[in-house]
Chain A
Amino acid sequence: MSIHRTVKIKQNYESVAWKWMRYSAIILIPLVWVHILIQDILVGPHHITLDYVEKRWSMIGWQVYDILLLSFAFAHGMNGLRQIIVDHIHSRRARIICGWLIFLAWVVITLIGGFAIIGAAHKNLVAFN
């Protein structure tokens, strides 16, 4: 026989991050696996060209897909890196510095990727008009 007890725990940053990792994992399975299946397994680097990517980004559906992929995958990955650093770096000061460095890298690289995808749309709009 087992006894079940429900405990209410106040939300904090770490508990939100913990849930985020699990819920984003469920969303990332179709997003990443379809991306890997198409680009790595079926198409492959020998058939990916500048033209191929530009054509893909001229379609709003793939742009939305890639923006979702970028934001979910990179945020999931950077938070995972943060969790590993919390486990392995025992100095509080070093942990805080690493946390901010990871945050900065996450913001900058997400913006670089996001600008490229949205910028491609803008270029297409200009070409269309």
Chain B
Amino acid sequence: MLGSLRTSFTGYLTFRGGVGQVSFLLHRVTGLGILFFLTIHIVDTALVYFAPHLYEHALELYRSTPFMVGEIGLVFCVFFHGLNGLRIANHDLFTTAGRETAKFRQSIWATFVITIILWIPAASIMVYKLLHYNFGFFAGK
């Protein structure tokens, strides 16, 4: 099992698949990241019903600086994974013509650009809140 993991890893690093491979890898990594967070998030939110006093502790964690920075990364993952997923669903389910490699590559670049365009305002708001609540900027605290 370790051997196959090593093969996969070095294969990803040395395979020159271009932008398509990058989007494939990012889709998997962001998907795993979101699933990891989602699993924790379902269980901690269930505390609201099962153990309300413990939920307050979970909230304190979510308000800490490392978690808020992670949350900004999470929003990037959700935007990229969602847009890239839509792109894949569109190609696989609805597009019957125009399956040229050049067009695929174009749509991948468009996905990156739209992700960044959506993420920048979202991240700005979240960075503002982080500085306001955790560091006392903008008349916070």
Q: Do A and B bind each other?
A: yes
B48 touches A46 (CB 8 A): no
Look across to chain B and name the residue whose beta carbon is closest to the beta carbon of A84: B28
Look across to chain B and name the residue whose beta carbon is closest to the beta carbon of A73: B38
A115 touches B129 (CB 8 A): no
A22 touches B89 (CB 8 A): yes
Whether B102 sits at the interface, judged by CB under 8 Å, is no
User: How distant is the Cα of A22 from the Cα of B71 in the complex, in angstroms?
Assistant: 25
Tier of interface size on chain A:
35 or more
B4 touches A46 (CB 8 A): no
What is the interface of chain A mostly: helix, strand, loop, or mixed? helix
Whether B69 sits at the interface, judged by CB under 8 Å, is no
Question: Contacts A53-B45, A116-B48; is A81 near B82 (CB within 8 Å)?
Answer: no
Residues of A within 8 A of B (CB): 2, 4, 22-23, 25-26, 28-29, 32-33, 36-37, 40-42, 44-46, 48-50, 53-54, 57, 70, 73-74, 77-78, 80-81, 84, 87-91, 94, 105, 109-110, 112-113, 115-117, 119-120, 123
Residues of A within 8 A of B139 (CB): none
Contact of A45 among B32, B55, B67, B122 (CB under 8 A): B67
User: How distant is the Cα of A73 from the Cα of B42 in the complex, in angstroms?
Assistant: 11
